[in-house]
Amino acid sequence: MFPIRDHNPSGRTPYVVYALIAINVLVFLSYAGILGDQRALTYFFYDWALIPARVEAGSGYYTYITSMFLHGGFMHIAGNMLFLWIFGDNLEDEMGHLGFLAFYLAAGIGAGLIHVYTAQGSVVPTVGASGAIAGVMGGYLLLFPKARVDVLLILIIIFRIIPIPAFVVLAVWFVLQFAGSVGADPNVGGVAYWAHTGGFIAGFLLTIPLWLRRGGPAFWNRTHGHPDHPEARYARGPSRIPKVPRQKRPPRRNPWG
């Protein structure tokens, strides 16, 4: 399942989401030319990525922020920006522009702290906005658990878009990240599962005060877990994938008569 959009339109222009996406893309493009040079990329990440052993030694605290705007490749940044685009605008709508920016950075820092704590002594550089975006997903789960999210379902050769409640999509994602966290070796490069798990929990907890100001359980009772405004509806036309008619096989001829 791969989420592609939600049915929860925002009531105001999400300027902070736009700015975050633009900054991430511009920063990525600024060093994309050295992605094929492992030596140069290692030196670059040593200066700006989050390295637990370095932070434990008492330096590089600024990398809690800078690492949030670095990515390891095109698919890495594309996936993160898609998730930020889908879920971020609604939290910005609820929190306000400056409130959402503070929330985003706090969730990212929280994810970094969890990663450093669980990867003590690791010299593997950690990059990506995933921790902060996981926080956005945690906040979205609390405020809009039943908002519909369209996911692209891929089953070998079957491609289909289906609407699923947000709590299903986000809960499955969280369980997968937590499962990956258990037994993960912090000294081996790959997905920083604990940063994802920690960011999600941090975002959920940071959103609780806003949820309580909206009425807490009364907010859910009033909205039934859906957006507090009419949800977006998307036209579902016929599939554009051409159908190939099945041809009947001609009867077999007996070569002997």
Q: How far apart are CA 28 and CA 1, in angstroms?
A: 26
**Active-site residue 130, yes or no?**
yes
Selected catalytic residue, list 115, 130, 181, 226:
130
CA 135, CA 59: separation in Å to the nearest integer? 25
Catalytic residue among 71, 115, 196, 226: 196
C-alpha atoms less than 13 angstroms from C-alpha of 234 in its C-beta half-sphere = 14
Place of tokens 């000294």: 187
Q: Annotate 107-155 with DSSP letters as a single string.
A: HHHHHHHHHHHHTTT----B--SHHHHHHHHHHHHHH-TT-EEEEEEEE
How many CB atoms are located within 10 Å of the residue 64 CB? 20
Active site residue 76: no
Catalytic (active-site) positions: 130, 196
